[in-house]
Each structure stands twice: as structure tokens, then as C-alpha cells.
A and B are shown apart, each in its own frame.
Chain A
Amino acid sequence: MLQLENMHCGYGQMKAVQGLDLIAEPKKITALLGANGAGKSSTMMCIAGHVELQGGTIQYQGIDIARQTPIQRVTAGIGIVPEGRRLFADLTVQENLIMGGYCRSKKKTGPNMERVYEIFPRIKDRRGQRAGALSGGEQQMVAIGRALMSEPELLLVDELSLGLMPKAIDICYQALNELKEQGLAIVLVEQSTQRALEVANMITVLESGRIVWAGSAEESRNSMDVIDACLGLKSSD
């Protein structure tokens, strides 16, 4: 569904990612791991069209989308849950969800919102509250829900577990699994390696903008040493 080949992206002179190959497929979760500054978020924003593509190709459903605007990409089915959630703090939960469905017809707002509430019953109870007054976990649920309102087929999730309590992380990962079963392709960026390895089907490890390890979930189990080393986990022991 999504295929990056030898992708380079960055900010002018600053090269964030160099030569990344990445694939996302329906009913699969692709995890993108790496330390701070490895280029994970830049990759996500580049797929969404907010960071400049400096080389290579991005294909989505067989079409080169490098020249498409962010709006066209969302309309084509690429939804994004941004890092740090980025909710509209002064709007209510429901209004945040409505904003998420901006690119779809208004008639679909109702059914799509019901679908979100089915996945996250917890935020249904809080739909009238200001999003800024919610706990971190609930905010993340709203952020995922907001992305779902645009009816994505490919969901980009940036830092799912960052700053959340364990129970909220469980709920969010459960939701990801559910969405995967429903047929979505998911690209997940995580700092919490353990969590990501548990759910991912394909894993790519980045360091300073370059791939240092890539493979399937099974392969990763046999090369945990390598991955740990790549992520710098070993040296801290």
C-alpha cells in the first residue's frame, strides 16, 4: 500500500533521513524505531507531505504521491496521529473529532464518530469536555479518533506511548490491533521498543537518518542483541 524507496528528506541543508526503504501493508503494523533525532518523525511528516522530500520515491497505492499536497494525501486515505497529540485544547472532544473529518462529507461525521466511540468508549463519556482537560491517555485516544475521522486506509502513528500511563498505553495498543484487524495499514513510530516489537509485523531501526536494521518480527526476535545495540540500549546497561 505504501512503499518508500531510497527516500531522502530533510529541512533545506539539514538532511534528516537518507536512503530509507519502508513498506506498509493492510492488516500489518510497520514499526519505525530509533533514538531521538534518528529521523522517525521526519519520515512520518514526509509521508504526510509536511517535510520536503529530497530524493527517492513515495508510492501510495501504486501512485507516486511525491508531488501531492498534504490535503490530497489525507483525502487519498493517509491519516496521521501527530507526535504530542496536538489536540485543539479549547475545543471539546466532539469538536476535535468533527475537525478530523474535515475532508469528508458532513453526512459521514455521525457514523464515523460512532465508530470512534465504539473503539474508545471512554472518550464518549467525555465528549462534551474540553480536550485540554483530559488525561494524557484520553487525549491520545481523541488524537487517534480524530485521525480515524478522515477514514484512513493508512494510519501514521507518531509516538503512541509517549508520556502515557501503562493502562492507557494498553488501551491504545489494543485499539491499534483492532484497527489492524479491520484492514488498516499502520506505520508506528515508538521510543518504547518493547511495546512496538510486541505488535509490529515489520520492523525498521533508524540511526541518524539511516537504516541500521530491518526485518520481520520473527527475525527481530533472533537478533535482539543487534537491535538493542542499534538503539543504544546496551551501552546504558
Chain B
Amino acid sequence: MGIYELSLAIIVCINIVLALGLNLITGYCGQISLGHAAFFGIGAYTVGVLAKAGFPSAVCIFAAILMAGFIGIIVGTASLRVRDDFLAITTMGVGFLFLGIIRQQEGLLGGEMGLSGIPTIGFDKPGFLVIAFIAVILCSALSLYIKRSWMGFAFDAVATDEDTAKLLTVDVAAYKLTAFALGTAMAGLAGGLYCYFTRFIMPDDFGFLTSISVLSMVAVGGIGSVPGVIIGTALLTLLPEMSTFLSDYKLLFYGAMLFAVMRFAPEGIAGIGTRVVQIYGRRGDAK
């Protein structure tokens, strides 16, 4: 693997962690978030500031996870008051609010110019890839574990019909906040890794377009499906890299994919996969 391929693989891993976080909030618990990039940014800036202050990398990453998760809970309280489209607008607003704050903080956070000169995490590229890969494994495992656990059931119930879930004594508020806390903590982890990877961050990396990109990755892969989200993320991250045309029109491409998925395969790649397995299974039975 050359340096370029290594870098690509690391970016894919980081995006997967980010997308799995959104999948927890939107896919499992049904709470639309259009401000996921803000938590990615909170993770990145936490690492950026702490690393420059000389803290060891493990502490920085851990702080990024906690910080993003903590603010995630605060933002999550919005989901207790507003739903659906209104929650989408609110979380979108949180994204812009985050950018606004970052842009104004020239002393601590570097303002428009961003943060540069972030120290290295202490590993070379292959080593970094291993760490990013471990993060992917951990987040996937956690997601799959939640899906099968009692919490997964409760998330399903909240996503399908909040009012009925309440009727059955499910503590809807607690589960929503848990989903936000876990999902945004994953975004924080992704942000932390991203910061150590690029060692230079600026506000635009964490804007609305990033939020939409992550949402596209989750939707194209298959909302709620871990393998689907992983495949979708890898696809949407790598395709623009392979063709200059797609790279130039990246957002158009994401938008087209998002539209195509919603129109033709609402369950995304994961749904298509399930259908193919069913069709082949039936043919097998016929023989």
C-alpha cells in the first residue's frame, strides 16, 4: 500500500466511525440529525487544543469522546421537545451555531484560519490505520450489540411510534438522550482521529455539507444496518477519489445518490442485499 492508499483507507475508517454514530441516532432511534458534523468538529477541536497544550494522545482522544457526547446530550434535549422536520431544522441550527462560535474564537480555536501545528499521535501511517481500524471494529461491535440488546428494542419502539412506546412505559426521553450521547461520542472519536490524521483543521471541514455527506452515506448504505452503513460510507468516500469528474461534482453526486436511494431502494444497499439473498434463496428452494 502506498501513502495515498493508506491515507484513503484511514479516511474511510474515520468516516465509518462518524457514520455509525449518526446511524445510532437516526437509524436506530429515529431522530433526524442534520448537525452531525458539529460533533465531528467538537471532537477534532478538543483534540487540537489539548494536543497543542501537550496532553498525551490517549487523553486527548478520550476527552474528545466525552466532550462530544456531553454536548450531544445537551443538543439531544432538543429532541424531547421537537420532532421530525423540526428536529432536523434544530440540529441544523446547532451545526451553524458551532461554526459561528469556532469562527469567532481566533485566540483559542484559530478562527477562520483553523488550527495548525497539531502534534503527531506518535504512530506512522500504517500504525494510524490500525488504530482507525480498531475504532471501526469497536463502534461496529457496539452498534451490533445494541441492536440485539434490550436497548435496541426500545430504540426500535421509539423510532416507530414514540407515543405508543410511552404508553408501554418505555422511558422515551432517556433512550433518546442515550442515542444522542452514544452517537455524538462516536462522532467525537472520529473527529479526534481526523484531527490527528490531518494535523490541521479548519471550520469548513465541519460544515453543513459534511453533515449532509454523512447522512448520504448512512442513507445510501441502509439506515439502521451496520454492514450497509460501512459499505455505503466506503463507496461514497472512495468513488469521488477514483474519478475527477465525481470529485468535482461531489455534492451533486451525493445528492443524486441520496435521491436515487430514496426513490428506488429506501432501505439502501443493505435492503438490496437482503432482496438478492431472498431471490437466490427462493431459486435454491425451487431446485
Contacts and interface: CB of A to CB of B under 8 A. Distances in A.
A26 B166 CA distance: 26
B223 to A, nearest CB: 12
B167 interface: yes
B169 interface: yes
8 shortest interchain CB distances as A-B pairs: A103-B169, A86-B164, A71-B169, A88-B160, A74-B169, A99-B157, A102-B168, A102-B169
Interface string A22-59: 00000000000000000000000000101000000000
Contacts of A89: 160
B170 interface: yes
In this complex, the interface size class of chain B, counting residues with CB under 8 Å from chain A, is: 10 to 19
A228 interface: no
A86 B167 contact: yes
B171 interface: yes
Interface of B: 150, 153-154, 156-157, 160-161, 163-171
Given A86-B161, A86-B163, A150 B156 contact: no
A150 B154 CA distance: 15
Interface residues of A, number: 23
Interface string A64-100: 0000001100110000101000111111000100111
Nearest to A100: B168
A89 B165 CA distance: 12
Contacts of A98: 153
B191 to A, nearest CB: 32
A8 interface: no
B171 A88 contact: no
B167 A150 contact: no
A135 B20 CA distance: 36
